[in-house]
Structure 1
Amino acid sequence: MILYIGNNLKSKLTNQTTLTLLSNLLRDEGYLVKISSSINNPFLRLISMLWAIITYRRKTDYVLIDTYSTKNFYYALVTSQLCRILKLKYIPILHGGNLPYRLDKSQKLSKLIFMNSYINVAVSKYLEHEFDKRGYKSVFIPNVLEIENYTFQKREISTPKLLYVRAFASIYNPEMAIKVLYEVKKEYPDALLCMVGPEKDNSFNSCKALAKKFGIENSIEFTGMLPKKEWHEKSKDYNIFINTTNIDNAPVSVIEAMALGLPIVSTNVGGLPFLIENNNTGILVNKNDIKAMANAISSLCKNQETVNYLTMNARKQVNEYDWSKVKTLWHNILQ
């Protein structure tokens, strides 16, 4: 039996979590999988996770633990140490571009978790690299993409129609998207931007104010959080995907955009150069380099062959994230 520990909170606006998707796919492969926890209160959620470990300790072969760098890091710490006490094999599943910073900031706590695990599963080659560099044994198993649900659409670009799909949070630098549109409109006055994502901090208000300051609010659509199917449908009307983040790992929205046939222009931070090969599967620019991102967008508008080359290569890459390929990697560990 597998016990999967992580955040299983459900909301009408929340897309299917990695926990839900992976656990369902593992069940389809014949594994018995239990999940914890879906309790909203953070303290009670932790208690629920610990209780699940105790309850299923005699039946459990492996405990999977979703592991991030912020508050969830301490969930992983406490649950992993209970697994150690009960002599259960636990497997941290590593998420979040800031985890390397956490490894350096909390070295003793990190060693307790990651040196004593059965193995550490990195969902990106970036995290695999960063963990291996610090002496933690890890293996790369990407987040699953059900590739049959992603229709590849060839993009022919004359006027830039930019799509941003990320939370409005300062670490993702959404204000850069507004500044890039302003710069792009100097050459392409009809350029548009659609920003999809929930409000996490004051970045949303900053973006609205910036758009008003530049006088381009009529060229920007703010949709708020959209379910996956809805933003996939909306993406059909756009032709370039921009990622402006300051810190990142392997953002699922970028991987999905690659699957959908959108050419990617992204900042070159964290795990992005491990996900996107510059000028082969996308275009990378320096963090907060508005001019460079605008120039990259302009170059795509002028070169359809480049667009076709980048998008075909990107789709080929993310085909490897399909469950038909990824399940073998999980079987190698769990069997």
Structure 2
Amino acid sequence: MRNLLYIGNKLSKHGFNKTTIETLGLSFENEGYTVLYASDKKSFLFRVLDMMVTLIKNCKKIDYVLIDTYSTKAFWYSYIVSQLCRFLNLKYIPILHGGNLPNRLNRNPFLCKQLFNNAYKNITPSDYLKSEFEAKGFENITYIPNTIEINHYVFKERMSFTPKLLWVRAFASIYNPKMAIDVLLELRKTYPEASLTMVGPDKDGSLIETKEYAEIKNVSVKFTGKLSKEEWWKIAEEYDVFISTTHFDNTPISVMEAMALGLAVVSTNVGGIPYMLTNNENAILVDDNDALGMSESIVQLILNLDNNTEKLVSNARKNVETKDWKQVKEQWFSLLK
């Protein structure tokens, strides 16, 4: 088996949501790979230094370096580590996560060419980023979807749907959490009993802003803070509709998990979302920041004319079953052979 160094934000112990480094990395370990990680340092500067030191200390026993690659601040550790890999003659594999990476390609074309053109392979979990990168002339792009272990998710078959909304994401401006408040306000015009629970840690001050916004709008919202996956899976049984309000995205795991759990998904139609979800087949898609449109779509789901909502959530579960680790892992094995 191969020895891997996985570079990313391994920050769940600091109150942040688990990212791919902690889920995909564990899947590799369970398949017999030796996996080293960097980094779990909370400070961005210390995290980057830890990544570099770990890479240098272990360079003689590493076969591949996996690098979670995002579009905003975390882009810089991807670039720095990739160039250090080049200096050390190590094969590195960026795993493309940032839904706003196409804008990064436009803003920093020279740095992006150094990072992505010299990679052993660039892995994208969405056809969206694959098409965007190929349009910019990058050729070494391989599609391997994000994965979940489907047997961990209990599908709840709902005989009816109620206006109980669940939102799960880190609180950051790019995910537009305040839109969820506006959706609830619109929905209460039809269903005064409608409720909203928002799950996730603060990332950039947006949690406080969203709480203040709810107070200004005089609407009651339940904020749970960060919950473990198992904790929010459990409370998901009490809800019927999962809303995603993001401005930018790629293939969010939380949406895949909601599909696996049997929640009806309503999302903004941005970035990689339309490559992941099909409108009126396994989810409902609305325009970015269209709170009224999202509310009206939720009303139609609740009315459930001709059992269309049951069909939608059943199709969603079938779709996400194709992303099970047992089906996807052979693609990784072939890449890392």
| TM-score using structure 1 length | 0.94
Shift of 1:224: 1.6
Aligned pairs for 1:217-236 (under 5 A) are 217=220, 220-236=221-237
The answer to whether the 8 A contact 2:167-2:243 is kept is yes
SS at match of 1:159: coil
Paired letter, 2:158: R
Q: 2:45 aligns with which of 43, 46, 50?
A: 43
Q: CA 1:62–1:206 in structure 2 vs 1: closer, same or farther (change >3 Å)?
A: closer
Aligned to 2:251: 250
State the shift of 1:75 in Å.
Answer: 1.0
User: 1:8: Cα distance to partner?
Assistant: 2.1
**Higher alpha-carbon deviation: 116-125 or 36-45:** 36-45
- Alignment-mate amino acid for residue 55 of structure 2: I
Q: For residues 101-160 of structure 1, what are the alpha-carbon distances to aligned partners after superposition, in whole Å with 9 as ceiling and x for unaligned?
A: 111100000000000101100122221221122122211112221111110012233531
What is the CA-CA distance between 1:68 and the residue it aligns to?
Answer: 1.0
1:97 aligns with 2:104: no
In structure 1, what is the equivalent of residue 69 of structure 2?
67
Q: Does 1:29 align with 2:31?
A: yes
Q: Secondary structure at the match of 1:91?
A: strand
2:83 counterpart letter in structure 1: Q
What is the percentage of aligned positions where both structures have the same residue?
A: 49
How far residue 207 of structure 1 moved from its aligned partner, in angstroms, is: 3.1
Residue of 188, 193, 196 corresponding to 2:191: 188
Q: Compute the displacement of 1:267 (Å).
A: 0.7
What is residue 308 of structure 2 aligned with on the other side? 306
The question of 1:163 aligning with 2:174 is answered: no
Distance in 2, matches of 1:81 and 1:187, equals 55
Q: Aligned in 2, Cα 1:169/1:55: closer, same or farther, shift over 3 Å?
A: closer
Q: How does 1:1-335 map to 2 (within 5 A)?
A: 1-11=3-13, 13-136=15-138, 137-217=140-220, 220-303=221-304, 305-335=307-337
Alpha-carbon distance between aligned partners in 1 of 2:224 and 2:71, rounded to the nearest angstrom: 28
CA contact (8 A) 1:243 1:267 kept: yes
Alpha-carbon deviation of 1:172? 1.4
Amino acid at match of 1:229: E
Cα distance in 1, alignment partners of residues 41 and 248 from structure 2: 29
Distance in 2, Cα, partners of 1:168 & 1:38: 20
CA gap 1:202/1:10 in 2 versus in 1, 3 angstroms: closer
CA–CA distance in 2 between the matches of 1:263 and 1:14? 26
* CA shift in 2, pair 1:138/1:12, >3 Å: same
CA gap 1:189/1:317 in 2 versus in 1, 3 angstroms: same
Distance change in 2, residues 1:180/1:74 (3 Å): same
**Amino acid of the structure 2 residue aligned with 1:280:** E
Q: Which runs of 5+ in 2 are unaligned?
A: none
CA distance in 2 between counterparts of 1:61 and 1:201 reads 36
Contact 1:13 1:227 in 2 (8 A): no
Deviation per CA, 1:41-75: give whole Å up to 9, x if none: 33332222222222222222211111111222111
RMSD of aligned C-alpha atoms? 1.7
Larger mean CA deviation between 236-245 and 122-131 belongs to 122-131
Q: What is the rounded CA distance, in whole Å, between the counterparts of 2:216 and 2:70 in structure 1?
A: 37
Contiguous gaps of at least 5 residues in structure 1 = none
Shift of 1:12: 6.1
Distance 1:277 1:181, change over 3 A: same
Corresponding residue SS for 2:59:
coil
Count of residue pairs brought into register by the alignment: 333
Deviates more, 1:271-280 or 1:63-72: 63-72
Give the AA of the match of 2:276.
L
Give the whole-Å Cα distance in 1 for the aligned partners of 2:23 and 2:185.
38
